[in-house]
Amino acid sequence: MASEQDVRARLQRAGQEHLLRFWAELAPESRAALLAELALLEPEALREHCRRAAEACARHHGPLPGLAERLRPLPAERVGRASRSDPETRRRWEEEGFRQIALNKVAVLLLAGGQGTRLGVTYPKGMYRVGLPSRKTLYQLQAERIRRVEQLAGERHGTRCTVPWYVMTSEFTLGPTAEFFREHDFFHLDPANVVMFEQRLLPAVTFEGKVILERKDKVAMAPDGNGGLYCALEDHKILEDMERRGVEFVHVYCVDNILVRLADPLFIGFCVLQGADCGAKVVEKAYPEEPVGVVCQVDGVPQVVEYSEISPDTAQLRASDGGLLYNAGNICNHFFTRGFLKAVTREFEPLLKPHVAVKKVPYVDEEGNLVKPLKPNGIKMEKFVFDVFRFANLPPNGDPPAICEISPLVSYSGEGLEVYLQGREFQSPFILDEDQARELLQPQES
C-alpha cells in the first residue's frame, strides 16, 4: 500500500493537498482507508479531471449559440416507425429479431449504476417496487421479460436459446444488487447467464476545481455516467465474454424503464436488417417543452441533443405534417453490434467529452462538520452512452447490400456462373470458391 508521504506527493502534483487536511484526527483504520482510496487517483489524470470540470462549469449553460443552423432532423430513410409501418414490414423485422435470438446472438445490457435517491429510497433503483398489485420490482419485471422472449424465440424456431443479461453496476449498487438476485434465486434465470460488473467512479469537484471530501476520511465519488459503459466493458473483459457466447447484438437500456421490452425482436430485427452499427429506440415528444433529449443530426452527424441545449423557438418548429420537427425523444434504449462496441472501446472512447452535472454534494467544512447543501455546490462529470452515435455506420433504409465473393479461380470476369447459380437461392454473405463450386455441380438428390 502507498505510504502517507507518497500520497501527499501525488496530491501535491495534482493540486489537491487539502484532501489530507484532517489526517491528524483520523484513527489508524480511517487513515488506511483514505490512503487506499487516494492511491487509486493518478495525479496527472486527477489534475486534468478537476481542471476540465471547473472549465466546463464556467462555460455558458442553456441553449447553445448557433445550434439552430447546424441542427437537422434525422433523414426519413434512417427512421423505422413501428406504429406506422405496414404489417408485412413489421412482421419481417420481428421475424429477423426472433431468428437472431434463437441463434443465441442477442444479449441485453442493463445500466444500473445509479442509486435510487430520486425515488426517495437508499437502495438500487432495480429493487424498487413500482406500485403493481403483484408488488414486483423492476429487476423482476425485466427478468421475466427475458425468460418470455427466450421462450417465444425458442417456440418459433424449435430450439432452446439464451439471452444473456449483463448488468452494469457501480460501487454503490453492486453488493445490494448481487445479494438481491441471490435472495430471489435470480428470478429463475440461470446465474451463469447473469453477468454483473462495475463501472468506474470519478471524484466530485467544487466549482473552483477542488475535489470534495464527503467525510474526513472519504472522497465524494460518483459513477462516471452511463457512458462509463465503454471503459467498464474493457475493464472487465465483457466483450470477450460475449464473443465466447456467440453474442453479436446487444440491447442496452436503463434500469428505471418499467415498460422496456428486453431484446425487443422488432427493434433488433429492424437494426440488423438495416446493417446498422447502432440504433436508438425513441418516442415521439408529447409537446415542445417536454424535458427529453432529441435524436437528430448536428452538422450531418447523428447524436442526441439535450433539451436544455435547444432554444424554445427551435423546439416549437413543425414539420409539413404538423408534428414537431424535432420529435424523436431519446429514452436511453439502444442497439449495438458487438463489433461496434469493440471499436468504441479500442478507438473512440477517449474522444468522448464528459458532460457537467451540477449536484448537491454533501461535504465536510473546514471545521470538519458534515454539511448537506440546500443548493448545488459541486460538479459530477459524466459521459453518456449515446455519445458514440457520431462514430456509427447508419446506412439508408432497406436491407444491407448482399455480400457475394466469387473466387477468381471459379470465374475471371463473370463467365460460366450460370451453371453454379441459376435457379438457386443463397444467403448473404456467400463465398463461391473451388470447393463450393464442385459441391454445386454434384447431382441433386431427388
Is the Cβ–Cβ distance between 217 and 368 less than 8 Å? no
Q: What is the pLDDT along the chain (446 residues), one digit of tens a residue?
A: 678 899 999 999 999 999 999 999 999 999 999 999 999 899 998 999 998 888 877 775 667 778 888 999 988 888 888 888 899 999 999 999 999 999 999 999 999 987 766 677 778 899 999 888 898 999 999 999 999 999 999 999 999 999 999 999 998 899 999 999 999 999 999 999 999 999 999 999 999 999 999 999 999 998 888 999 999 999 999 999 999 999 999 999 999 899 999 999 999 999 999 999 999 999 999 999 999 999 999 998 899 998 888 999 999 999 998 999 999 999 999 999 999 999 999 999 988 888 888 889 999 999 999 999 999 999 988 889 999 998 987 654 445 566 787 887 888 677 788 888 888 888 777 888 888 888 888 765 44
Contact 337, 278 (CB under 8 A): yes
Look up the pTM and report it. Answer: 0.82
212, 359 Cβ separation under 8 angstroms: no
Whose CA is closest to 350, among 304, 380, 295, 387?
A: 387
Question: 3-state class of 232 per DSSP?
Answer: helix
Burial class (CB in 10 A: 0-12, 13-18, 19+), 169: buried
**pLDDT (0 to 100) of residue 398:** 45
In whole angstroms, how far apart are CA 313 and each of 61, 71, 150, 300, 446? Answer: 17, 13, 46, 21, 70
CA 231 from centroid of its chain's CA atoms: 11
- 55: enclosing H helix or E strand: helix 43-58
CATH for 404-440 is 2.10.10.100
Q: Given the DSSP bridges, would you call strands 194-198 and 165-169 parallel, antiparallel or unpaired?
A: parallel
Judged on CB neighbours under 10 Å (0-12, 13-18, 19+), 242 is buried
Is the distance from CB of 145 to CB of 261 less than 8 angstroms?
Answer: yes
Residue whose C-alpha cell is 441433386: 444
Question: What was the pLDDT predicted at 396?
Answer: 45
- Sign of the torsion angle spanned by Cα atoms 154, 157, 158, 164: negative
Q: Could you say which of 3.30.360.10, 1.10.8.60, 3.90.550.10, 3.40.50.2300 is the CATH number of the domain covering 78-282+330-391? A: 3.90.550.10
Q: Which residues, in sequence order, are CB contacts of 344 under 8 Å at separation 6+?
A: 230, 388, 391
Residue 396: CB atoms within 10 Å: 11
CB 63 within 8 A of CB 309: yes
Q: How far apart are CA 289 and CA 348, in angstroms?
A: 32
| DSSP one-letter code for 205 | E
**Helices (H) then strands (E): counts for the chain:** 14, 20
Q: What is the pLDDT of residue 223?
A: 87
Indicate the domain borders of the chain: 4-41, 78-282+330-391, 404-440
What is the pLDDT at residue 61? 63
Question: Distance between CA 165 and CA 241 in Å, rounded?
Answer: 12
DSSP 61: -
Q: Please name which of 108, 396, 102, 425 lies closest in space to residue 273, comparing C-alpha atoms.
A: 396
Q: Is 226 helix (H, G, I), strand (E, B) or coil?
A: helix
Q: Give the per-residue pLDDT at 232.
A: 95
* Dihedral sign, Cα of residue 318, residue 310, residue 305, residue 222: negative
Q: Residue 279's beta-bridge partner residues? A: 335
